[in-house]
Amino acid sequence: METKLCGIKLKNPTVLASGILGTSKSLLARVIGNGAGAVTIKSISFEAREGHKNPTVIAFEGGMMNAVGYSNFGVAGALKEFVNLNELEAPIFASVIGTEAEDFVKVVEGLKGLDFAAIEIPLSCPHTPGFGTLAGQDTPEKTFEITKAVVKKTKKPVFIKLSPNTKNIGEVAKAAEKAGASAITAVNTMGPGMVINIEAKKPVLDFKVGGVSGPALKPVAVRCVYDVYESVKIPIIGAGGVLTGKDAVEMMMAGATAVGIGSGIYYRGIDIFREVCSEISEWVEKNGYKNLKELVGVAHE
């Protein structure tokens, strides 16, 4: 089950996706204790942010939808919360957000002293003004510019997290690779979508729209990973609707080296990581593969 991602050793390929449970060191420790191969913190901006008003997270028949709006305690809070991350028994990935390239750089430099194994840069949030797709960060040009600026300022591997809504995700991935990204995380939430309560005659999310995740996102995510795999040589963290070991195998066949799990926690609880891993093992054994590496990208052959 051991997986190597940009030179980082993971005891298995499951990664806690950013935005879910990544608010504190003790919660990260708990997720690791439940089998995650690596964990990603909730995204950090330079200044603290309150995010959108409730309701911010809902679940509908096909998945989850959120418009949390990047609430986070900022760099100052992160420096207090994420101390001595080396004590945890798996690599921790930072997640860094900003509006302009220099905002990302400011956060990356602010977090320099913390023991993050890599830095993820989401350029793909669909529900926060000033960030992600609402700030046009999902174009190849902006992706190149921001990636380049961040890579220049850190020795750590930089993962660029892409949006499933982009017309040509392969081109965006290429821009990130060309700018020096070490890996691609595919994908962020989809949409935005909307759920209207017909009795209240109003959207349920206070921000009205939110990013769609969970089962509804999975086929889109698999296609995105497939497209990115065709476009770049750097490894891919495949995320979007992974609930079971078979979902993870599917992501790997599309081209993912590691798999992100987020909304799955709603469906199966925190120990989803352990369960998915044992389900992957079972499948791999039954189907005669020697290791996970052999699985990556086989759908392209």
Least Å distance between CB 111 and another protein?
A: 15
Rg (Cα) of the chain, in Å, rounded? Answer: 18
The Cα 135–Cα 244 span in angstroms is 33
| Strands 63-66 and 210-213, bridge-based pairing | antiparallel
Q: What's the min distance (Å) between Cβ of 66 and another protein?
A: 8
Residue 112 interacts with another protein (CB under 8 A)? no
Binding residue for another protein (CB under 8 A) from 7, 50, 167, 287?
50
- 224 assigned to active site: no
Q: How far apart are CA 140 and CA 75, in angstroms?
A: 27
Residue 46 · residue 110 · CB < 8 Å: yes
Number of H helices, E strands in the chain: 9, 16
Of 11, 71, 139, 178, the one binding another protein (CB under 8 A) is 71
In terms of phi and psi (left: phi > 0; alpha: psi -120 to 50; beta: otherwise), the region of 221 is: alpha
For position 244 contacting another protein by CB under 8 A, the verdict is no
Smallest gap from Cβ 80 to another protein, in A, equals 7
Distance of CA 242 to the CA centre of its chain: 12
Closest to another protein by CB, 168 or 197: 197
Binding positions for another protein, 205-224, rule CB under 8 A: 206
d(CA 224, CA 4): 22
- Site for another protein (CB under 8 A): which residue of 8, 10, 13, 22? 22
Size of the site for another protein (CB under 8 A): 47
Contact 165, 126 (CB under 8 A): yes
Interface with another protein, residue 23, by CB under 8 A: yes
Task: Give least dist CB 264 to another protein, A.
Answer: 10
26 binds another protein (CB under 8 A): yes
Q: What are phi and psi of 250, to 5 degrees?
A: -60, -45
Chain residues that interact with another protein, rule: CB under 8 A: 20-24, 26-27, 29-30, 42, 48-51, 53-61, 64, 66, 68, 71-74, 77, 80-81, 195, 197, 199-200, 202, 204, 206, 262-263, 265-267, 269-270
Catalytic residue ranges: 125
